[in-house]
Structure 1
């Protein structure tokens, strides 16, 4: 795995004028919909390190506009450990919280390529659902509205 370049990541996450908005949800087997309501939504620069790291968790999902999924079960029972786990990786991010309807808005983002990650979970005997991630490009301070779900 590549070495994390904290200076590069901090430069890429500096304030800009871009906006990323969207919604995240999963459909249960019975047809019910669970949103990311109350969950943290994180955006991080798409650096070589973050691309490789997220590929370990989600597989080769690195295409813009495709949502990838890691189940809560697999994250709990087969957790990915990164050694070293650079603290600067987490510091070079921005985050917000999904509203009650599962909508989110990330502001003050520079033009560039990023990953957006959030959780959609619920409990029925055990935790279900998981984590959703997608790649987004901000150009001219805008990105398409994200709809984060899996089919």
Structure 2
């Protein structure tokens, strides 16, 4: 058999297999409904199994408490992304569990207590819209950074 014939045969077989797989039903499709009762019950059951195992581990409880102190600390150094004349940061703490997207100037960021301007308060938005919003990312138009798309899920 000539080399190109083998390649064509392999591609045809792959194409047929891919078509057959595309028609295969996904038995876990119901998990895609993130607010569906069946999916939520499944998650609750898995969480309960995991929690019961973690609750039995004394080291886990201490680690969890220690990490929560760090995550809620106001002394954390905020990671920033420079866009134009401003630096942006997404911040979560005990007061803002969903987070705030905020900005300041680079000069102000260098101070011990920067003055942040909140651009988006995800907690307030979630409450106002009665949605379970989670901040994913921001994509801003360069080089002006005058418009941004905010990715929420």
Decide: shared fold, TM above 0.5: no
Greater strand proportion = 1
State TM-score, norm by structure 2.
Answer: 0.21
Q: Please tell me whether Structure 1 or Structure 2 has the larger radius of gyration of its CA atoms.
A: 2
Greater helix proportion = 2
